[in-house]
Chain A
């Protein structure tokens, strides 16, 4: 009985082998949280990639070859990301867009590096560039840039006097909060309290009660929207009279849902939102996205990843090859001011994206964003 089961397993696996990829297609991988708590971000990334790929295929493909998209769901979990890295590598992709979270990106990085597969991600954790893998380039702006910008805003613009900095325990959020704290101290500002919350515990009244006693004028949270929204609600419930400023990962429609009425007045620090982008490519692609998927991209993150993909495709066409080392060299050394949807796209020698343009928005009563400060 067991033997027939094994036999059928082999038969099936033989069938799988038989579906050899035809010689005139290339594969691009998407590694993103398609399910799980950041699902709408992951789905946004996947959607945008497919939008761009379909457009390219209509134009004749990449160097004449049709592009096939292979998606792997990493659920924003590091272990699943490592599994996805293996899966996508085995599937024969030459480049991967992903992931949304820095943690999932980093878990997969080494496997893609060993397999010489290009990888681009919106993860902002500075540690992503630490190993300087030639296969990796960032398509968003790093935490250190955001930290400096936020500190400048707090100390020089708003002149806050008692700043509370909160993060969760992920390397991304912790790193961002550290970056903000250091930059504030460098500018002479006062960080009254630096604390951490456990993501997902939902009840933050313990730490907020501690914070209340310090009488802060601003609470800065560097983690994700799933916790940020609840922090804001509970801040108001406890009667803490302070501004609430969220880092880039609070920028998501679910933040508004969680915070409900208390979302009004919250400030968010982030790169320009899709509808504010003044660039040519922006209007074209955003309209195309809305037409096809009947909704706007969930946030800027899907868009920067799309830029990453477009940069890779540009690299293929300009080097006229799928040699990932050549493409990587092109992107780092020869590509200047590539017209991205999110602005001029420039990648440094170590894979870092340079030229950050950040803004501060305030959430209005009706849920819309109003630009409150930009450099």
Chain B
């Protein structure tokens, strides 16, 4: 079993029993961690694996959250029933938004996604069609009800979030082993070479967007349930920057990397509440420092890179060859 899988297993086991080890304040933080880790993984699919500069991921998170909120509060749907919509709408929007810009060069695509994010925030604040609730958002979201049984305690919400994270990790594992995953990897490494191999680049990039959006949407739904309220500022451009940074600072396409990134961004501040005010400043400084010291992230992925032992063998071989060459000359 390789390193990544063993780390993943330990992580899952620990998180599975987490609610029984901590008090309610930490349980809340735990749920937040799971939800944001899920979103970070979904961003990782787009940014880390496909290499698409998406800095508007909070949009899909937000659409999921608001879909649940609107369908439940304005239209009276049961929370369980809103979840499929919270997954599908972000996908539709993702294809709609990413479609026209997917051909743009990296930086331009980045700016376009930022623009979309800002527009999204405005649409939410301005109470579009009287549905999105204005700058104060929507509150009074119901609890999850299955067969009449109410799941409103934090513990139950925790396990729902946990379930989603497990599903996400399984999806990513399947993706990596599939044709789609390989295509994304090649596109990331060298887009032009991939194109010349016959890979339909826009199709796969859009696929990454859609998949990332779907997972983020589901996470958004759980976010809405956890707080019984949603409002525009949770899905701002700054939030997208956070997700963007988590993936890059932690390490793209790296499971331990994304988990560390989420932990640092969202859990660490809770541990050090004395530094609450300066927490963003410390993040910012950490971001700069990490990039300067480890441009590939704190825990870069090892997938696709030549394993260390092979590298050493090659180096030894080369050294021998050089020595023998030197002697003959």
A106 pairs with B139, CB closer than 8 A: yes
| Among B10, B139, B229, contact of A3 (Cβ-Cβ < 8 Å) | B10
Q: Which residue of B lies closest to A199 (CB)?
A: B135
User: How distant is B199 from chain A, measured CB to nearest CB, in Å?
Assistant: 35
Stretch at the interface among A8-16, A137-145, A203-211, A248-256: A8-16
B271 at the interface (CB under 8 A from A): yes
| Among B126, B229, B259, contact of A82 (Cβ-Cβ < 8 Å) | B229
B139 pairs with A169, CB closer than 8 A: no
User: How distant is B229 from chain A, measured CB to nearest CB, in Å?
Assistant: 4
Say yes or no: A90-B135 contact (C-beta < 8 A), given A9-B271, A17-B22, A111-B228: no
Residues on A with C-beta less than 8 A from B107 are none
B1 at the interface (CB under 8 A from A): no
User: A108–B229 Cα gap in the complex (Å)?
Assistant: 8
Interface SS of A by simple majority: helix
> What 20 new A-B contacts, CB under 8 Å, besides A13-B23, A78-B139?
A2-B259, A2-B260, A9-B267, A78-B135, A78-B137, A79-B227, A79-B230, A81-B229, A82-B229, A85-B227, A90-B23, A90-B25, A103-B137, A107-B136, A110-B140, A111-B227, A111-B228, A114-B152, A169-B126, A174-B134
Convert A113-131 into 0s and 1s, putting 1 for each residue whose CB lies closer than 8 angstroms to a CB of B. Answer: 0100000000000000001
* Residues of B participating in the A interface, judged by any CB pair closer than 8 Å: 7, 10, 14, 21-26, 28, 125-127, 134-137, 139-141, 152, 226-231, 233-234, 256, 259-260, 263, 267, 271
Residues on A with C-beta less than 8 A from B23 are 13, 16-17, 90
Which of A5, A6, A79, A104 gathers most chain B CB within 10 Å?
A79
| Among A9, A77, A86, A169, contact of B134 (Cβ-Cβ < 8 Å) | A169
8 contacts between A and B (CB under 8 A): A13-B22, A78-B233, A82-B231, A83-B227, A85-B227, A87-B25, A170-B135, A199-B135
A342 at the interface (CB under 8 A from B): no
**Interface set, chain A 71-110, CB cutoff 8 A to B:** 77-79, 81-83, 85-87, 90-91, 102-104, 106-110
User: How distant is A249 from chain B, measured CB to nearest CB, in Å?
Assistant: 14
User: A90–B23 Cα gap in the complex (Å)?
Assistant: 9
A79 pairs with B231, CB closer than 8 A: yes
Q: How many of A's residues come within 8 Å of B, CB to CB?
A: 37
Q: Which residue of A lies closest to B234 (CB)?
A: A79
Q: Which residue of A lies closest to B10 (CB)?
A: A3
User: How distant is B237 from chain A, measured CB to nearest CB, in Å?
Assistant: 15
A110 pairs with B139, CB closer than 8 A: yes
User: A346–B301 Cα gap in the complex (Å)?
Assistant: 65
* Residues of A participating in the B interface, judged by any CB pair closer than 8 Å: 2-3, 5-6, 9-10, 12-13, 16-17, 77-79, 81-83, 85-87, 90-91, 102-104, 106-111, 114, 131, 169-171, 174, 199
B256 pairs with A107, CB closer than 8 A: no
B134 pairs with A171, CB closer than 8 A: yes
Residues on A with C-beta less than 8 A from B26 are 13, 16
Q: Which residue of A lies closest to B256 (CB)?
A: A2
| Among A3, A5, A110, A171, contact of B228 (Cβ-Cβ < 8 Å) | A110
A103 pairs with B135, CB closer than 8 A: yes
Say yes or no: A90-B28 contact (C-beta < 8 A), given A12-B271, A169-B125, A171-B136: yes
User: A275–B285 Cα gap in the complex (Å)?
Assistant: 47
Residues on B with C-beta less than 8 A from A109 are 139-140
Residues on A with C-beta less than 8 A from B10 are 3
Q: Which residue of A lies closest to B15 (CB)?
A: A6
B137 pairs with A107, CB closer than 8 A: yes
A107 pairs with B25, CB closer than 8 A: no
A77 pairs with B233, CB closer than 8 A: yes
A79 pairs with B263, CB closer than 8 A: no
B139 pairs with A107, CB closer than 8 A: yes
User: A99–B136 Cα gap in the complex (Å)?
Assistant: 13
Residues on A with C-beta less than 8 A from B7 are 2
Q: Which 3 residue pairs spanning A and B have beta carbons closest together?
A: A103-B136, A78-B231, A82-B227
User: A86–B153 Cα gap in the complex (Å)?
Assistant: 12
A82 pairs with B135, CB closer than 8 A: no
Q: Which residue of B lies closest to A172 (CB)?
A: B136
User: How distant is B71 from chain A, measured CB to nearest CB, in Å?
Assistant: 17
| Among B14, B24, B125, B127, contact of A6 (Cβ-Cβ < 8 Å) | B14
Residues on B with C-beta less than 8 A from A9 are 267, 271
Say yes or no: A169-B127 contact (C-beta < 8 A), given A82-B139, A107-B139: yes
User: A9–B271 Cα gap in the complex (Å)?
Assistant: 7
Residues on A with C-beta less than 8 A from B152 are 114
Residues on A with C-beta less than 8 A from B125 are 169
Q: Which residue of B lies closest to A130 (CB)?
A: B140
Residues on B with C-beta less than 8 A from A77 are 231, 233
Residues on B with C-beta less than 8 A from A79 are 137, 227, 229-231, 233-234
User: A13–B28 Cα gap in the complex (Å)?
Assistant: 12
User: How distant is B130 from chain A, measured CB to nearest CB, in Å?
Assistant: 12
User: A19–B26 Cα gap in the complex (Å)?
Assistant: 14
Residues on B with C-beta less than 8 A from A102 are 136
Residues on A with C-beta less than 8 A from B139 are 78, 82, 106-107, 109-110
Residues on A with C-beta less than 8 A from B24 are 90
User: A169–B122 Cα gap in the complex (Å)?
Assistant: 12
B136 pairs with A170, CB closer than 8 A: yes
User: A2–B255 Cα gap in the complex (Å)?
Assistant: 12
